[in-house]
Amino acid sequence: MCVYFVFCAKIKSYIMNLRKEEHMKLNKRLEDILDILMNHEYVKIEKIVKLLNISRRTVYYDISKINDHIKKYNLEISNVRNLGYHITSEDKDKIRKVLKYSKDDYILSSEERCISIIIDLFLSLEKLTIERYCNKLLVSRNTVLNDIKNVREYISKYKLELEAKNGYKLVGSNNSKRYLFINLYNEYNYFFDEYGYMQVFEDIKSLMKEEDLNILKNTNANYILMYLAIFYKNYYVKNKDTITFKNEDKNFLDSLDSHKEVKRLLNIIRKVLNIDIDEDEVYYIQTFFTKDEDIRNYFYQNELNSKYILPVNMMVKEFEKISCISIEDYDVLSKNILNHLIPSIFKIRYGIYYLNLIKSEVKQKYKSIYQFTKQVVKTIENNLDIYLNDDEIAYIAMYFGGYSSKMGVEIKIPKIVIVCNSGMATSQLLKNQIEQLFDLIEIQDILSLKNFENYEKYYDFAITTVDLNQKQAIKVNPILTDLDKQNLLSQISNTQSVFNFEQEFINKIINGVEKYATISNKEKLREEIKNIVISSREKGKSYKATLRELLNEDTIYLNQEATNWEDAIRVSANPLKDLGYVKDSYIQAMIENVRKLGPYIVIAPKVAMPHARPEDGVNKVSMTLTTFKEEIYFSGKEQHKVKILISLAPKDNQTHIKALACLTKMLSKKENIDKILNSKDKDEVLEVINKYSR
């Protein structure tokens, strides 16, 4: 039995005191200022002065003080000219985590315990045993054993393993270890407070200023130096590992102007920490400071980019296949993605990457596109033997999302605020229920009634547990009833499909007005125009079908028979023809596509999705799901054997996109495919579909 059961109270008190000392603590006034900033997109100083009845000078001082607190988490309150103080959505999320983690009574979640153990594996100088983690995390032996299982799963993405001989330790390449470590630092840097590296950062920066190093002018200098401080102070001291750079990469880095300065920086780090650091670490440090353009030039001049071209092209084709968005200009899109990936992959191979500061915005704005991208990057990962994290996936999704916007594909989603006066627990419960109900919405903020009254950010709906005199308000119970769900689905789902059209229309009007008049309050004008548009809206514009609408009792067929893949496509698609949704020419085009392009339609294990272009004979967006008694062979390869065919008929580049995103999510889980294959009737299949249809 773990020792902590005897000394639990003392240990808990000790840990909580440590947290109190190490983590971000703000006085009441600083908390009030931060609360205002967290609940508004932009806040002018005059507003803070008025709300808190303090002087401008005090506001300047307090915001500077908050910035001092949060800079070690690579966070910042910026002051945008003419708009006011601003915190990005990504930074707001991190600040919430930091504030939550700093509370004395905060209990780590299962995920956080897993992260805490991995960080400990990297940095602790003690013997790493189950007993240690029982004591450190204040949990039982069985809980730790389950956490260790989660650790193994987490690190496997980085091609690392956990060895248990004589205490736990990480096993794998040094490059992979460093890549995992920097990922942890970027995502969970509030866990690193207890290691006290900020003074090392300040000392390194001070000596760099004395030596007048130009690399200090790098935009990311503070972030890089903070990371190097924790890395060499704690990680390197324990692990003493050095990664090996290829000779040609060394020669490239040697040729850059930054090389001599980075050598001086390495000596500064040695001096501050009073430790020996391998000479080759200069290349690791220099890679942080190397410009993306220099890396691209190096690759193109030496034709190193050639091995990346095919995987990128394959990924773009895979995206077109699973999204059913017609991509006309492969070359331009592929080249843009390739140009982005070259410096990213170079750095990742040596265990380095930068945070994507707009990751949250990308995941919200391009929600469906992001889901598709997450699936297709596996082509890059498998071909180049590399793991791309969420930051990198978000970057790639931006390219696909930008292209999709250009092609008129719907990417905008409703902005929701939750207004609740019953406390955070109830608010969070309501948020979770709404997120389960909808796939394509953005929950922008959770507000008290008081904060909502002064709320200035644009939103489409306010979902509330209290009475609000607002047109956009939808009142519900804290635990959603069936009637609540029906009401939400009716009001929100019916409007999702027209947001893109309306927004573009409204923007054009505002841009036109700005040419001839001064707009004193753009958001108020936007709201007035929106109300006019809503009142005269033509229903059905830019309609977005749901998965449940497309796959129903009339379009699901179980245990069918077919002689070959061509026959299987006809068996699957003929019901669409019988319903008048497609012409026979469309079914023939589906078959011709497979003949020309091969088994590209196999989108998941045992699942294929034949489709063609809208102009080949689609009358109405539609879909069938057909299971077969025997496997259908689309080639002689094992991975091209199929038992489920989903025949898709897209009417355009956007009507099907929401349903397809839900379908992709559903098919990403093997248990769903197995359940569909084992279903004895349509109701069992619909049960699976209903879980994912939004």
Q: Does one domain contain both 621 and 687? A: yes
The answer to whether residue 194 is domain-embedded is: no
Residue 573 lies in a domain: yes
Read off the pLDDT of residues 241-292 as tens digits, 9 standing for 90 and up. 888 999 999 999 999 999 999 999 999 999 999 999 999 999 999 999 999 9
Do 489 and 614 lie in a common domain?
Answer: no
pLDDT given for residue 402 in this prediction: 74
Q: Is residue 257 domain-shared with residue 161, that is, in the same domain?
A: no
The secondary element (H helix, E strand) that includes residue 417 is: strand 415-419
Query: First CA to last CA across the chain, in angstroms?
Result: 47
Report yes or no: 355 and 73 within 8 Å, Cβ to Cβ: no
Distance of CA 534 to the CA centre of its chain: 32
Query: Which residues fall within 8 angstroms of residue 99, CB to CB, at 6 or more apart?
Result: 24
Q: Same structural domain for residues 562 and 668?
A: yes
Domain CATH code at residue 72: 1.10.10.10
Asked whether residue 247 is domain-assigned, the answer is yes
Residues 56 and 83 grouped into a single domain: yes
One-letter amino acid for residue 277 of the chain: I
| 133/8 same-domain check | yes
Name the residues annotated as catalytic: 611
Does the pLDDT at position 94 exceed 50? yes
User: Is residue 393 located within the same domain as residue 339?
Assistant: yes
Same domain for 490 and 507, yes or no, is: no
Q: Judge whether 541 lies within some domain.
A: no
Please tell me whether residues 309 and 360 are part of one structural domain: yes
Return the CATH number at 485: 3.40.50.2300
What is the tally of structural domains in the chain?
A: 7
Tell me if 457 is assigned to some domain.
Answer: yes
* Confidence category of residue 656, pLDDT binned at 50, 70, 90: confident
Do 564 and 656 have their domain in common?
yes
Query: 410-426, pLDDT tens digit by residue?
Result: 445 678 999 886 555 56
Dihedral sign for Cα atoms in the order 43, 45, 47, 49: positive
Please, which pLDDT band fits residue 392 given cuts at 50, 70 and 90? very high
Same domain, 145 and 223: no
The larger pLDDT score, comparing residue 304 to residue 280, is at 280
Are residues 474 and 618 both part of a single domain?
no
Q: Which among 348, 373, 406 is the end of a domain?
A: 406
* pLDDT (0 to 100) of residue 2: 45
Q: In this model, does residue 500 exceed pLDDT 70? A: no
DSSP state for residue 215 in the 8-state scheme: G
pLDDT of amino acid 102: 63
Per-residue pLDDT, averaged over 292-312, amounts to 90
For the whole model, what pTM was predicted? 0.60
pLDDT band at 193 (very low <50, low <70, confident <90, very high): confident
Domain contains 605: yes
Share of the chain above pLDDT 70, in %: 87
Helix (H) or strand (E) holding 511: helix 499-516
Residue 388 domain-assigned (yes or no) = yes
Q: What CATH number has the domain bearing residue 688? A: 3.40.930.10
Domain membership of residue 206 as a residue range: 201-290
| Rounded to 5°, angle at Cα 636 from 630 and 637 | 95
Q: Average model confidence (pLDDT) for the chain?
A: 84
Of 514, 535, 556, the residue at which a domain comes to its end is 535
pLDDT: which is higher, 234 or 368: 234
